[in-house]
Amino acid sequence: MDQKIMDFRSDTVTRPSREMRRVIASAEVGDDIYGDDPSSNALSEYAAEITGKEAAIYACSGTMGNLLALLTAGRHGESVLAGKSSHILCSEVGGAAAIAGLCPYELSDEGGIPSPEEIDRAARIDGDVHHARTSILALENTHNYAGGIASAPEEFAAAAREGKRLGFHVHLDGARIFNAAVRHGVPVSAYTKEADSVQFCLSKGLGAPLGSMLCGSREFIDEAVRWRKRIGGAQRQLGIAAAAGLYALRHNIERLAEDHENAALLVKLLKAGGVAVEEVRNMTNMVFFPLHGCRLSDAEFEAGCREKGLLLLAISPRRIRLVTHLDVTRADAERAAEIISEVLSS
């Protein structure tokens, strides 16, 4: 018998739906480097419109979108303030330093968004000759490694405004900013209007197979276009991917609420089964729990769940992550909780 595989490793594992594939197959395309791809242009215009920015460009990945923002807003030898556990500092292979030449200064980000006081503390703007002068503040929302926390618009605005007051370019790593907007019941512009640039992923909960968008002022995006070409990220018949992205933005934002409900259900069921789930305020589509006290190694635990049809991820040693998305159902969440209890008690 074929066992159904429930993939909770990430929301990046979503596959294009039948309707999205139809849209991809019939996409009008041209050469995007000549500005001739109608589907790419339509996606950029729509992304700019919903984020309230003047312009937007497609990037191959969220990592590239963030890197383009850092390259465009900073200069070699300056510094970027970013969360200690931010994706930019932890999971982008050191690109901020290695490619953009920016010295990273860490902010405490246990709660997701650092406080204005924390930003003041970390900023290097005092003219001290020993310091790499700060030019960029990078904020992440929702915050992945802090537990998928969706910071509220006011909290986000307080940090962003402090960054602007200090004269920094404020970049939002909004890989999952639509999850934050849906969680708080606000339009995404409630966040993006506070930042100078925003990167968001089409390829995560929105369900497109590829890509991210970087949005900002016309001047900023014109410069980012040059950087994208320089690092080899400009592409030709981009409409094949862009059409999927536009479809995702038009159809898959509101439904993120279902993912949040399924994650909340998972937390409830795991807790009822005695699992020490990490409880965060304003949770979205991620669930984390520690493996402390379990005699299985991380790999054994993953394998035990896999045998029963559940894929999940040891995101760091002794810390397990599950992510809900449009390819997992409420029944899958219920079954996942059962499997986890079975494997933990085996």
CA 171 and chain centroid, separation: 13
Closer of 20 and 149 to ligand PLP (Cβ) = 149
Contact mark string toward ligand PLP, 97..136, x via CB under 6 A:
----------------------------------------
Closer of 48 and 60 to ligand PLP (Cβ) = 60
**Greatest Cα pair distance in the chain:** 68
> Residue with CB nearest ligand PLP?
62
Among 61, 85, 134, 179, binds ligand PLP (CB under 6 A): 61
321 counts as binding ligand PLP under rule CB under 6 A = no
Part in contact with ligand PLP (CB under 6 A); list of ranges 56-64, 106-114, 150-158, 298-306: 56-64
Contact mark string toward ligand PLP, 190..229, x via CB under 6 A:
-----------x-x--------x-----------------
173 counts as binding ligand PLP under rule CB under 6 A = yes
151 counts as binding ligand PLP under rule CB under 6 A = no
Contact mark string toward ligand PLP, 232..271, x via CB under 6 A:
----------------------------------------
179 counts as binding ligand PLP under rule CB under 6 A = no
Residue type, 308: K
Among 87, 228, 260, 335, binds ligand PLP (CB under 6 A): 87
63 counts as binding ligand PLP under rule CB under 6 A = yes
Part in contact with ligand PLP (CB under 6 A); list of ranges 38-46, 59-67, 214-222, 244-252: 59-67
Three-state secondary structure along the chain? CCCCCEECCCHHHCCCCHHHHHHHHCCCCCCHHHCCCHHHHHHHHHHHHHHCCCEEEEECCHHHHHHHHHHHHCCCCCEEEEECCCHHHHCCCCHHHHCCCCEEEEECCCCCCCCHHHHHHHCCCCCCCCCCCEEEEEEECCECCCCCECCCHHHHHHHHHHHHHCCCEEEEECCCHHHHHHHHCCCCHHHHCCCCEEEEECCCCCCCCCCEEEEECHHHHHHHHHHHHHCCCCCCCCHHHHHHHHHHHHHCCCCHHHHHHHHHHHHHHHHHCCCCCCCCCCCCCEEEEECCCCCCCHHHHHHHHHHCCEECEEEECCEEEEECCCCCCHHHHHHHHHHHHHHHCC
324 counts as binding ligand PLP under rule CB under 6 A = no
Closer of 83 and 153 to ligand PLP (Cβ) = 83
Part in contact with ligand PLP (CB under 6 A); list of ranges 28-36, 57-65, 110-118, 305-313: 57-65
Q: What residues line the site for ligand PLP (CB under 6 A)? A: 61-63, 66, 87, 140, 144, 173, 175, 201, 203, 212
